[in-house]
A and B are shown apart, each in its own frame.
Chain A
């Protein structure tokens, strides 16, 4: 806690033991997290893990049952108005006013923010290829999402809270959104992105936290998170090899044999495995791609294993 206090000055978002109960159900369970100013943070978790609950606490839409959340040093409950003034938010389940055109909607929301630059709105609309004269009710999911992105960014907020920002966008638009997010970061903004899309988080974020059943089970640099992953090596030998040679090596968790092929699952360095394999004649060696997805599920497996 001492280090948390020391770095609070430069922390943009701080969650301290954030807990939220809905009746008997605990949606968030003592989440501690600190976002550095100017980072893009991925908040990972499956549906119902508590991502949206966290975000609603940050925006003051719900009150924590215990603990607290601050944004830019402002308490999310007591200084909610000021927090929201400096924050841009894209809801996960975005709903617009069907009878308003995108322009009218943005004018309305901009007016509630005390006015925003129409040049900025036009620029964002152009970047997002969004026709602002269209009625929101006549828009497709993807088009509505574009309007959502524009309204979150139009006042150049210091903090961006994006709940599944690109879920309904095509890959090209995803890239546009990622560019806009990176530009916001370049301006000094801090970005909190919730997602269940690991590849997206891997591409976009500096750090990521994994939320599971309301608990934050890991927070790591995205690169480290990838390294923590398991390697799956399939080695096809030209001679019969005893699987026991590999299963006793450090880091190896599983060896399966079929014919002359051994499939070895290992974590950490592969040095020992490769050196052991080098003593035999190798026909082929395939390595399965290490991605966040496996890391993610690995976390989930171990956690649920612990729980039971």
Chain B
């Protein structure tokens, strides 16, 4: 038994991993290649942004961040919606499907007739479902590291790595919520649905927090989309407290999943 289940999970979904990686990298490449054009049109865009409400700026670009700087531009284009969105969808779908999918397909009987511990099965399934997020994050890092400098996008590669890690953890958190609900109920759709809906709600809360000063405090505390540094992440970095929360959530959710799964009756 050498992580057979984890390997199988990765192998079975290699096509979607390749698709997500290529798609993500191509979109990111597009933004990288746009940068010289955007920067050369600088004054007009700057003026446009200045004319917008302050909350809007902090919601979509990051508080006090210069959009036209490499960190401001990449942060806004990649980290406001593109990368979090991609990794979230990947995480939620994979998390909901990983273990409950075997149950829904009826293959769990064969799998659990082998001498594998349920906890180990669940842990390997979770690992196999979440690892692709980090593969995509690494590919995006490599893209910016390789193609960025030639387009004038010089950003701290260490800072970029931490920012991508934080977003991958964000996707893992919602992915593991889907995993917990699905593996505890045996329903793929229930887990993915609830986790997906909660992610959308939290994203909205983060925006509302930026636009409505009265709600800023609570939104920033509650919404994981604030924990990862948002679109200002490359300029301002990931707050340590946020990183800690993003790391803690998947661990707690995985532990709960293992507990719940260990005790479940697996009926047909």
Contacts and interface: CB of A to CB of B under 8 A. Distances in A.
Contacts, number: 70
A111 B4 contact: yes
A35 B243 CA distance: 57
Contacts of B5: 112
Interface string A55-81: 010011111000000000000000001
A82 B115 contact: yes
From B1, B111, B112, B113, residue with most partner A Cβ within 10 Å? B113
Interface stretch (A86-94, A188-196, A283-291): A86-94
Contacts of B114: 84, 109, 112-113
B8 A93 contact: no
A263 interface: no
A109 to B, nearest CB: 6
A92 to B, nearest CB: 9
A109 B267 contact: no
Interface stretch (A95-103, A218-226, A241-249, A268-276): A95-103
Interface stretch (B22-30, B101-109, B213-221): B101-109
Mostly helix, strand, loop or mixed at chain B's interface? loop
B110 A151 contact: yes
Nearest to A22: B267
Given A95-B105, A113-B115, A108 B267 contact: no
Interface residues of A, number: 29
A151 B111 CA distance: 11
Contact of B113 (A59, A63, A82, A99): A59
A99 B110 contact: no
A88 B117 CA distance: 16
Q: Among B115, B263, B265, find the residue whose CB has the most chain A CB atoms closer than 10 A.
A: B115
A62 B112 CA distance: 11
Given A93-B106, A97-B107, A108-B8, A61 B265 contact: yes
A95 B107 contact: yes
Contacts of A61: 109, 112, 265-267
Interface of A: 22, 52, 56, 59-63, 81-82, 84-85, 87-89, 91, 93-97, 99, 108-109, 111-114, 151
Given A89-B113, A93-B268, 20 more contacts: A56-B267, A62-B265, A81-B117, A82-B115, A85-B115, A88-B113, A89-B110, A91-B106, A95-B106, A95-B109, A96-B107, A97-B12, A97-B107, A99-B12, A111-B2, A112-B1, A112-B4, A112-B115, A114-B1, A151-B110
